[in-house]
Amino acid sequence: MSDQVIRIGLCGFGVVGQGVFNHLKRRKEALGEQLGARLEVTRIAVRDTSKSRDFEFDPSVLTTDALSIASDPEIDVLCELMGGTDKALAVTLTALKAGKTVVTANKALLCDHGAEVFDAAREGGGHVLFEASVAGGIPVIKAIKEGLVVNRFSSIYGILNGTCNYILTRMTNEGGSYQDILREAKELGYAEADESLDVDGIDTAHKAVVLAYLAFGRWVPYSDLLVEGIAAVTQDDISYARENGYAIKLLAVIDLAHASGKLYISVLPTLVSKRYALGSVDGVFNAVSIHGDVVGETVYIGPGAGRDATASAVIADVVDAAKLIGKKDCGGFIDPAPKGGHLIELAEPEEIMSRYYVRLQVLDEPGVMAEVASLLAEHQVSLASVTQKEVAEGAKDASLIMTTHFTSERALLEAVKSLEKCDRVQGKPFSMPISTFED
Ligand SMILES: NC(=O)c1ccc[n+]([C@@H]2O[C@H](COP(=O)([O-])OP(=O)(O)OC[C@H]3O[C@@H](n4cnc5c(N)ncnc54)[C@H](OP(=O)(O)O)[C@@H]3O)[C@@H](O)[C@H]2O)c1
């Protein structure tokens, strides 16, 4: 092995940081042989230096000053594994401006500040590598950047949050309410104490924004995405899905709207056919389907989070970063940002066509169905099927489950708003797209 040492600064020594440290140490010899250089973690930043850690390490490498690692001329590669968007941004920009390569797992940072971060890399002559930011251990970023480089993409569909997929899978396989299964998921460590980033679809949306940049070269502001989480999914929806050959998945859709060629991104609970690959991806697994014009569809499935899976992706980037040291070129990555060209336009909701599922709680009295159908017709939403769940003796309201023919997202959203205002509709209607990927 050569005497060259690549010095790595870990900013963050929590779940992911310690995983990276552990596996770099375990595979030190093999990685060194492959690279012709030794990878050494020489500095580590944490918030609390007195906390006990899961692996043995030299405490003299610890600091609470992450910025000092970012500006340290002795550090070759900085791994930003702190999370958050304030300190993480400052650390990332400082390191990039100093010409270092930054490896990050931080999708929230990239979603909110991606353009600034990539500009800083171009200016500083360093690189940003972010395999671990989307779909954890699945090398999907590398697939888009390298393996599929000749392709123009038309769509990417993703199950990108293991917590949501775990909850929906258990609701399907075992019954039980969303709230009960969420509580158990927290007890088992599959969901955070504050679950909102996961179950409200925010984490999935951050990842969708990163994938959209890679495939279509535009950082789409989070506020331009339609994002709904899984909290409103009930056993009525799960039963409908099961009886009709679907699974409910929290699905990120990054798609060129068919008629207009404009870019559309959403994160919504979706009825996905069990005949389609993504309809059978269960538990904490993630899956990504990518459509390229040369290769066709490729599908990637694997663990989307966790210490070891995420460390696997971070270390792949660290190895690439080591190969890039001293190189000013793109390291094989064709930057998707258009140079002087115009940005791809975003699709309007009236340009997005889908079939939809709608569930309503209505007063069980004559004329309700006619009123609902007429409200939908006012918005040009035409019904394909209607089912009313059998009402228990004495119950005042009933659950109506409807599916629509192809209609625009705008028409559906406006129809649902009108239904919500209707006196005989109880509570908030629930709707989701019905996927047609397998058709
Ligand atoms: N966990 C996963 O499965 C997973 C998967 C994919 C991506 N990610 C991403 O990876 C990143 C890290 O996640 P994680 O789960 O490892 O988080 P974590 O367990 O909470 O660890 C965060 C680490 O950063 C340190 N830290 C936080 N703020 C700091 C500051 N201002 N200065 C210095 N150190 C600071 C913490 O120090 P203390 O230890 O002293 O508190 C801790 O060591 C996040 O961006 C996350 O979204 C995580």
Predicted confidence (pLDDT) per residue in 124-164, tens digit: 988 999 999 999 999 999 999 999 999 999 999 999 999 99
Across 86-90, 98-102, 433-437, least confident range: 433-437
Q: Examine residue 330 and state whether it is found in any structural domain, yes or no.
A: no
Q: Examine residue 260 and state whether it is found in any structural domain, yes or no.
A: yes
Q: Examine residue 188 and state whether it is found in any structural domain, yes or no.
A: yes
- Rounded to the nearest angstrom, the distance between the alpha carbon of 108 and the centre of ligand 1 is 12
Give me the CATH number covering residue 425. Answer: 3.30.70.260
> Is the pLDDT assigned to residue 438 strictly greater than 90?
no
Same domain, 244 and 371: no
- Write down the pLDDT at residue 392: 73
- Rounded to the nearest angstrom, the distance between the alpha carbon of 262 and the centre of ligand 1 is 36
Same domain, 289 and 319: no
Buried b (16+ CB within 10 A) or exposed e, 49-75: eeeeeeeebeeebbbeebeebbebeeb
Residue 89: both structure tokens together? 């941004």
> Is the pLDDT assigned to residue 187 strictly greater than 60?
yes
- Indicate the pairing of strand 353-363 with strand 407-408: antiparallel
Q: Give residue 389's pLDDT band: very low, low, confident or very high (50, 70, 90).
A: confident
Q: Examine residue 40 and state whether it is found in any structural domain, yes or no.
A: yes
As a whole number, the mean pLDDT across the chain is: 93
Beta bridge partners of 104: 80
Q: Examine residue 339 and state whether it is found in any structural domain, yes or no.
A: no
Q: Are residues 248 and 241 in contact, defined by beta-carbon separation less than 8 angstroms?
A: yes
Which atom of ligand 1 sits closest to the CA of residue 305? 3
> Is the pLDDT assigned to residue 331 strictly greater than 60?
no
Q: Report pTM.
A: 0.96
- Indicate the pairing of strand 128-129 with strand 77-80: unpaired
Same domain, 297 and 317: no
Same domain, 320 and 425: no
Same domain, 251 and 157: yes
- Write down the pLDDT at residue 104: 97
Same domain, 100 and 232: no
Residue 321: both structure tokens together? 């970063």
Q: Examine residue 344 and state whether it is found in any structural domain, yes or no.
A: no
Higher-scoring residue by pLDDT: 4, 439: 4
Most ligand 1 atoms within 8 A of CB, residue of 81, 106, 161, 206 to mutate: 81
The rounded distance, in Å, linking the Cα atoms of 205 and 210 is 9
Same domain, 219 and 314: no
Most ligand 1 atoms within 8 A of CB, residue of 61, 80, 82, 161 to mutate: 82
Same domain, 416 and 267: no
Across 183-192, 215-224, 312-321, least confident range: 183-192
Across 267-271, 277-281, 338-342, 403-407, least confident range: 338-342
Q: What average pLDDT does range 390-402 have in this prediction?
A: 83
List the domain range (segments joined by +) for residue 70: 5-136+307-324
- Write down the pLDDT at residue 332: 52
Q: What average pLDDT does range 271-276 have in this prediction?
A: 96
The rounded distance, in Å, linking the Cα atoms of 364 and 438 is 37
Q: Examine residue 69 and state whether it is found in any structural domain, yes or no.
A: yes
Give me the CATH number covering residue 149. Answer: 3.30.360.10
> Is the pLDDT assigned to residue 179 strictly greater than 90?
yes
Cβ-proximal residues to 314 (8 Å cutoff; 6+ apart), any chain: 16, 19, 20, 79, 81, 103, 105, 131, 132
- Write down the pLDDT at residue 306: 92
Q: What are phi and psi of 261, to 5 degrees?
A: 70, 10
Domain boundary among 291, 324, 357: 324
Same domain, 125 and 179: no
- Write down the pLDDT at residue 338: 66
Q: Tell me: the pLDDT tens digits for 253-268?
A: 999 977 688 999 999 9
Same domain, 363 and 227: no
Same domain, 107 and 15: yes
| Positions marked active-site | 207
Give me the CATH number covering residue 108. Answer: 3.40.50.720
- Rounded to the nearest angstrom, the distance between the alpha carbon of 47 and the centre of ligand 1 is 10
Q: Tell me: the pLDDT tens digits for 275-307?
A: 999 999 999 999 999 999 999 999 999 999 999
Q: Give residue 191's pLDDT band: very low, low, confident or very high (50, 70, 90).
A: confident
Q: Examine residue 185 and state whether it is found in any structural domain, yes or no.
A: yes
Q: Does the C-beta of 208 come closer than 6 Å to ligand 1?
A: no
